[in-house]
Amino acid sequence: MDAKRYELNVQLAQMLKGGVIMDVTNVEQAKIAEEAGAVAVMALERVPADIRRDGGVARMSDPAMIAAIKKAVSVPVMAKARIGHFVEAQILEALKIDYIDESEVLTPADEECHIDKTRFSIPFVCGARNLGEALRRIAEGAAMIRTKGEAGTGNVVEAVRHMRTVNREIRQLVSMPVEEVTGFAKSNGIPYELALKVKELGRLPVVNFAAGGIATPADAALMMQLGCDGVFVGSGIFKSATPAVRARAIVKATAYFNDPAKVLEASMGLGEAMAGLEIAAIPKEQLLAGRGW
Amino acid sequence: MSRAGANPSHSTVGNAIGVLDLQGDVFEHLDHLQRLGIDARPVKQIEDFDGLAGLILPGGESTCLARLLRIFDIEPVIVRKYHEGMKLWGTCAGAILLAGSLTGEAPHLGLIDIEVQRNGFGSQLDSFACEALIPKISSEPVPLTFIRAPKILHAGEGVEVLLRIEDFIAAAESADILVTAFHPELTGCLAFHRYFAAKCGLRPRTEEAAFDPSWNMTSWTRHARVA
């Protein structure tokens, strides 16, 4: 992609700031999400909680299903490709969706390489657990970053860990004399030029959303107060007892994340949240956040 | 809720420009306004509307913004302040919120007589940048950034077309409202913000050229540092 196309892609992500991106698995859910005020929807056949339950290999969703959702809503539509699976990404680009998520929720297709995103015109969002991972993805052409969290658990602890880690590393970089940046970049696997940019800006140069385990309005507001620019909610909405009500509540809490009275209002009477999983209770080989590097 | 309503004869128009801060590219607008030396602030709560000469409804997702305007009862406040003299400018999603009619759906604030088609171009792959001469705004060509932009299809009585491109209207204004389908806040050009400030009766710094050479793609991030 040329530089102007990359700018437009980064700027589309800027339009999503303060918003909630919701996982949907069919047209009906997509319409509920749009009506609730989602800034975009993520079209996929199974939400992460079901992928986790079913096991096996998780791949890109059927393009026919993604196309049906694209037709049904006017908000941007995202879809997931497997890490490193550049042909799935080519298919999604040919489908003319708005954003590709190169996602650890699907089974990686390549354990050594992520997709060279500079070869595409379509924007990419990628997950990151720390600053190095975020900047490696940006160097590869990602226009937007999100925490990995631990998808499909309804447990926000890993998303918090990832956001705090990124913030801590940014603080270290900001307070560091320039001559120490080379060593910091080397030991954290960070591209040097991008390290200098982050040091200057005091944050990532693109938007950084929360993702992975967000299940309540309070979870969303927590991630926003930690400095995220917006929120992805995967299983948290359509695995809850009252999806439409919860979707609206999370939208409210994300917009007014700094206003406890409004987050309180949003938290009232939502019915049951999705069942949660404790991270320590998940067998290590079933953790998703460790996929990619 | 209606503090100003208790004293309707008192004009509450002040000398600040607010940017509606519910969702979208709020920081980008604040950054441009501050470059012109304008008292600019995010507007989120009902009391934030006091003392505004103008309000910018930014880019973002119009369905999300419309829903938040409604559930937090902000719609009537904007309408009231508008009737009290507060000027309005909608960019992209903001223009959709202000439109008197929307193709195939019910309008939201409905304050300017234009018909708008949401997402008029297609997917993100159809987003584009170009430039055009808009004599009323600047003597130099203005860069235009269209991101999943709406098309203004029709402008009614009392609405002046500022820029027409092929089959659609890209910018228009009435006496008190400006609408742009594109995003001047995503470029280094300050001309539209200066024009809106003047429309609000403010006197923005005019010594700068239309383009601020110190602006770049990441200028907005200074409003959202984490360290």
Cα separation, B84 vs B61, in Å, equals 27
pLDDT attached to residue A23: 97
What local confidence, expressed as pLDDT, does residue B8 receive?
Answer: 38
- Model pLDDT, residue B12: 55
Domain assignment present for residue B7? The answer is no
Do B24 and B58 meet the contact criterion of CB atoms below 8 Å apart?
yes
Provide, as residue numbers in chain B, all residues whose Cβ is less than 8 Å from the Cβ of A76: 61, 123-124, 148
pLDDT attached to residue A1: 78
Do A44 and A278 meet the contact criterion of CB atoms below 8 Å apart?
no
ipTM above 0.85, yes or no: yes
The C-alpha atoms of residue B71 and residue B89 are separated, in whole angstroms, by 22
What domain range is B198 assigned to? 16-221
Query: Which residue stretches of chain B have pLDDT < 70?
Result: 1-12, 206-208
Q: Decide if B10 is inside a domain.
A: no
* pLDDT score at B210: 84
In the prediction, which pLDDT does B209 show? 72
Q: Which among B22, B45, B125 has CB closest to A96?
A: B125
Identity of residue B164: R
- Single out the residue of B122, B138, B40, B123 nearest to residue B89, CA to CA: B40
Mode of pairing for the β-strands spanning B128-132 and B142-146: antiparallel
In a domain, B180, yes or no: yes
Q: What is the pLDDT of residue B204?
A: 80
Determine the distance in angstroms separating the CA of A286 from the nearest CA of chain B, rounded to an integer. 32
Query: Which amino acid makes up residue B28?
Result: E
Contact yes or no for B36/B197 (Cβ under 8 A): yes
Residue A248 to residue B71, Cβ atoms within 8 A: yes
Q: What is the pLDDT of residue B207?
A: 64
User: Is residue B135 assigned to a domain?
Assistant: yes
> Tell me: the pLDDT tens digits for A232-274?
999 999 999 999 999 999 999 999 999 999 999 999 999 989 9
- Of the candidates B47, B42, B43, the one whose C-alpha atom is nearest the C-alpha of residue B30 is B42
Q: Of A145, A195, A148, which is closest to residue A169 (Cα–Cα)?
A: A195
pTM of the model: 0.95
Residue B208: predicted pLDDT:
63
- HSE, side-chain direction, 13 A CA sphere, residue A242: 12
In a domain, B117, yes or no: yes
pLDDT score, position B6: 37
Residue B195, domain member (yes or no)? yes
Instruction: Note the pLDDT of residue B7.
Output: 37
DSSP state of A77: E
Domain count, chain B: 1
Residue B138 lies in a domain: yes
Query: What pLDDT was estimated at residue A275?
Result: 87
Residue B143 falls within a domain, yes or no? yes
Buried-state track A125-138, b at ≥16 Cβ within 10 A, e below 16 = bbbbbbbbbbbbbb
* Nearest-5° Cα angle at A245, B45 to B150: 65
Question: Which domain CATH number covers B95?
Answer: 3.40.50.880
List, for chain A, all residue ranges whose pLDDT scores fall below the cut of 70.
none
Tokens 């507060």: give the residue. Answer: B86
B92 in catalytic set: yes
Angle between helices A192-201 and A157-174 (to 10 degrees): 90
Distance of alpha carbon A151 from alpha carbon A107, whole angstroms:
13
**Beta bridge partners of residue B42, listed in sequence order:** B19
pLDDT digits (tens, 9 = 90+) for B61-76: 999 999 999 988 999 9
* First-last CA distance in chain A: 24
Among B32, B185, B189, B193, the active-site one is B185
Determine the 3-state secondary structure of A158 from DSSP: helix
